[in-house]
Amino acid sequence: MQRIKINAFTLIELLVVIAIIGILSALIVVGMSSTTQKATIAKAQVFSHSMDNSLLLNRISQWKIDEASGTAANDFWSISNGVLVNFTDTTAGYGDSHNFGWMSGPYCVSGSCLKYDGVGNLYINCGDVSRIETATALTLSAWIKIGTLGTQKTIFNKGYLYSTNNGIDLRVNASNQPYIFIGNGTKIASAVSNDTVNTTLFSMVAMVWDGATVRMYVNGVLQPSTDTLIGPLTFEASKNVRIGLGGYLYTGLIDDVRVYDAAIPTSQIKQNYLTGLNRLLVNNQINNQEYSKRLAKLSNNYAKQ
């Protein structure tokens, strides 16, 4: 009898393949007509899901922001449920005519999301999320679509105060680049993206701190700007996690915020992203020109480490 040799998959490889198949079979595209924009969203979703599967056992909290009405933004793990603050309109709305509050359907990455007006001190109060305070490594991600260009906007904040080198503040700077600050009481470390975000397309931004190096990713692509910070992190007395408020007010849309107390290895992120690109090409989600462009950019960014 002829024997058939079967190559075994690692658990991580199986999880990545499952995630990619699920995404490609039921991909939610957020109302974009451009093929390039759709491909960007698709690649970012592949990266987001593969990262989540790789770090699943280390997920601290996930605020899916899928309630669509009311004042709750529940933690998927039911550990650090969020409460909407200053959102006086808690019904679902659509389009630019809806100034702030819940958005649904094609205006979000999936399910519902929240729109911030940048003036009303709007935020989600998620409590202190104490596991962040003892973490020796962190991964933080969020889907964002900014509402205005050229102003600083805080996405995620916990006990951040620059003058005392404390806390975490994930933001978009005045040049429309995702930016992270984290501090240990002695030093503030930062990483800034070369890629920019805009008012027409959702982007997935992620910060990874492995206990030393701080890195920034935008739509799965490693950005060249990094810094180092040896923990543990420290926080100001008022250290509740706030989504949409910190050093600056947020304007635009925020969806699906996640925190993990581990850092996905750079090699694993690169492999996940390459796997996602290959699957998208095979399934005609991107063309050869887009594939080559993204592959060249990925190789260039990782070569700068």
Instruction: Give the domains, in start order, of the chain with CATH numbers.
Output: 9-55+264-305 (no CATH), 60-263 (2.60.120.200)
Q: How far is CA 112 from CA 26, 28, 128, 143, in A?
A: 17, 12, 24, 12
DSSP code at position 8: P
Measured from the Cβ of residue 86, the count of other Cβ atoms closer than 10 Å reads 13
Measured distance CA(99)–CA(275) in Å, rounded: 39
pLDDT recorded at residue 194: 95
Place of tokens 């680049």: 177
Per residue of the chain (305 residues), what is the pLDDT tens digit? 444 443 444 445 444 444 444 444 333 334 434 555 666 666 677 677 667 777 778 889 999 999 999 999 999 877 889 999 999 877 777 777 788 999 987 888 888 999 999 999 999 999 999 999 999 999 999 999 999 999 999 999 999 988 899 999 999 999 999 999 999 999 999 999 999 999 998 998 999 999 999 999 998 888 988 999 998 999 998 899 999 999 899 999 999 999 999 987 666 666 656 665 666 666 666 677 777 776 666 555 544 44
For helices 288-303 and 35-54, angle between their N-to-C axes, nearest 10 degrees: 50
Using alpha carbons, select from 149, 168, 183, 138 the residue that is nearest to residue 242: 168
Distance of alpha carbon 18 from the chain centroid: 20
Q: What does the CA dihedral 237, 245, 190, 296 come to, rounded to 10 degrees?
A: 150
Quote the DSSP letter at residue 163. G
Give the model's pLDDT for residue 279.
61
Q: Please give the biggest Cα pair distance in the chain.
A: 74
Q: What is the DSSP letter of 3?
A: P
Task: Decide: 230 and 214 in contact? Cβ < 8 Å.
Answer: no
Predicted TM-score (pTM) of the model is 0.77
State the burial class of residue 257 (Cβ atoms within 10 Å of its Cβ: 0-12, 13-18, 19+). Answer: buried
Q: Distances in Å between the alpha carbon of 91 and those of 69, 104, 110? A: 5, 10, 17
224 CB-side CA count, 13 A:
9
Tell me the pairing of strands 72-73 and 82-85: antiparallel
pLDDT reported for residue 29: 38
Q: Which of 66, 45, 89, 96 is nearest to 204 (CA)?
A: 45
Residue with tokens 């990619």: 20
Q: Which residue, chain included where needed, has tokens 């509740």? A: 240
Instruction: Using alpha carbons, list the distances in angstroms from residue 75 to 61, 93, 126.
Output: 6, 22, 8
User: CA 83, 167, 214: angle at the middle one, nearest 5?
Assistant: 115
